[in-house]
Amino acid sequence: ELKVEQNPLFLSMQEGKNYTIYCNYSTTSDRLYWYRQDPGKSLESLFVLLSNGAVKQEGRLMASLDTKARLSTLHITAAVHDLSATYFCAVDITGGTSYGKLTFGQGTILTVHP
């Protein structure tokens, strides 16, 4: 059974600081997604990582994938309050051949303080 584990589950940061969220998974996969969820809102797609060594960046967020270590990271640079949300990683083990059955991590609740 595929297990996806995120840590930390709760992250309280000061504005301007850097931090990393980790996502470990237990089964071979080369397709990993990061989503953001604001309270009471839908999940918003942030990044799709499709191969070993993939790195994607958008603004203050950068995601990477190491398929050999079965690890993805979401790095936050110089955090701002607007980044406060819950972040999920999700792994697809169907190989992306026809559909994406996602297994989600527990989510990391990020709070950025002034």
Partner 1 sequence: GAGVSQSPSNKVTEKGKDVELRCDPISGHTALYWYRQSLGQGLEFLIYFQGNSAPDKSGLPSDRFSAERTGGSVSTLTIQRTQQEDSAVYLCASSLSGTGIAKNIQYFGAGTRLSVL
Answer yes or no whether residue 97 interacts with partner 1 by CB under 8 A: yes
HEC profile of 27-86:
CCCCCEEEEEECCCCCEEEEEEECCCCCEEEECCEEEEEECCCCEEEEEECCCCHHHCEE
Distance CA 50, CA 30 (A): 5
Site for partner 1 in 14-43 (CB under 8 A): 31, 33, 35, 40-43
Pattern 48-87, binding to partner 1, x per CB under 8 A? Answer: x-x-------------------------------------
| Site for partner 1, rule CB under 8 A | 31, 33, 35, 40-45, 48, 50, 88, 90, 92, 96-107
